[in-house]
Amino acid sequence: MTKIMTIANQKGGVAKTTTAVNLSACLAELGNKVLLLDLDPQGNATSGYGINKEKLKYCIYDVLINDVPLEKILLKTEVKNLWVAPARIELAGAEIELVNIDERDKKLDRALKGTRENFDFVIIDCPPSLGLLTLNALGAATDILIPIQCEYYALEGLTLLMSTLERVKKGLNPNLNTLGVLLTMFDARTNLSIQVVDEVKKYFRNKVFRTIVPRNVRLSEAPSHGKPIVLYDPKSRGAEVYRDLAEEVLERV
């Protein structure tokens, strides 16, 4: 069965997009057919694959609002087995336009019917909010992966995310599984990073992935070259770590 994995945390800058882009590439590298679905109006996951947004006829906005079939917007990438469903800034309007639509939090789930079967994984990159776009992602997902940055206030805001998840499980999507919590931008030189790891492990226990993503300059450079880390610098620490994460994800699903 297709695993639909939503990468969510309403905080910005915690490495949702970096994780969506690189985990997708690493799962594809292992032979899985993967669809990376960009649900953030900023379209950073789309640019992360070097896709020129200006030249696109359609994006995920048209799928959610204008009933364009999802398969019509899929783009093949440089990575074998990997496709992208792109997003552009107009998607920001969907957050408002969806409000007046029937079953407004089920639109993405509906749109995936008939397409998801062609993939082993659909990875959804969410915007930094808990609005209707993120709710659509949670409504369509089998699993959620929560990235947490190893910084001050790492746990702040997570109570809200957890209560949102509880609410989603009670109504919209009872089978939603919390696959794991991923610690990102770890800096072994600082006590703060080490403290955050301890704190997050105390709170989430065995939900925390063994793999911890360190700060790695190559990971932050790769998007400006329009490539995932495994193409930009396949031997970097960043590439190794996201490969480890892909293996760990496969163990868990």
Q: Nearer to ligand ADP by C-beta: 142 or 184?
A: 184
> Choosing among Mg ion, ligand ADP, none, which partner's interface includes residue 213 (Cβ < 5 to 8 Å by kind)?
ligand ADP
> Choosing among ligand ADP, Mg ion, none, which partner's interface includes residue 173 (Cβ < 5 to 8 Å by kind)?
none
Q: Nearer to ligand ADP by C-beta: 59 or 219?
A: 219
Determine if 15 is a binding residue for ligand ADP (CB under 6 A): yes
**Segment 43 to 62, residues that bind Mg ion, using CB under 5 A:** 44
User: Which one of the spans 13-21, 97-105, 144-152, 198-206 is the region binding Mg ion (CB under 5 A)?
Assistant: 13-21
- Residue 196: exposed, middle, or buried by beta-carbon count in 10 A (0-12, 13-18, 19+)? buried
Measured CA to CA in angstroms, residue 28 lies from 13, 70, 143, 180 at distances of 25, 20, 18, 20
The b-or-e profile of 39-76 (16+ CB within 10 A means b, else e) is: bbbbbbbbbbbbbeeeebebbbbbbbbeebebeebbee
Task: Give, as one character, the DSSP assignment of residue 213.
Answer: P
Residue 24 CB, shortest distance to ligand ADP, in Å, is 13
3-state class (DSSP) for residue 38: strand
> Choosing among Mg ion, ligand ADP, none, which partner's interface includes residue 219 (Cβ < 5 to 8 Å by kind)?
ligand ADP
Residue 110 CB, shortest distance to ligand ADP, in Å, is 26
Specify the amino acid at residue 243: R
**Segment 187 to 216, residues that bind ligand ADP, using CB under 6 A:** 213, 215-216
Count residues binding Mg ion (CB under 5 A): 3
Which among 105, 35, 40 is positioned nearest to 70, based on CA atoms? Answer: 35
Determine if 219 is a binding residue for ligand ADP (CB under 6 A): yes
CA distance 73 to 63: 8
Q: Helices 237-252 and 16-29 meet at what angle, rounded to 10?
A: 80
**Segment 52 to 111, residues that bind Mg ion, using CB under 5 A:** none
Q: Nearer to ligand ADP by C-beta: 20 or 27?
A: 20
Determine if 16 is a binding residue for Mg ion (CB under 5 A): yes
User: Which one of the spans 7-15, 79-87, 154-162, 229-237 is the region binding ligand ADP (CB under 6 A)?
Assistant: 7-15
Member of 184, 193, 211, 236 binding ligand ADP (CB under 6 A):
184
- Residues 19, 182 contacting (CB under 8 angstroms): yes
Residue 9 CB, shortest distance to Mg ion, in Å, is 10
Which among 27, 4, 85 is positioned nearest to 244, based on CA atoms? Answer: 27
- Residues 167, 133 contacting (CB under 8 angstroms): no
CA distance 186 to 148: 10
Site residues, ligand ADP (CB under 6 A): 12-18, 44, 128, 184-185, 213, 215-216, 219-220
The residues binding Mg ion (CB under 5 A) are: 16-17, 44
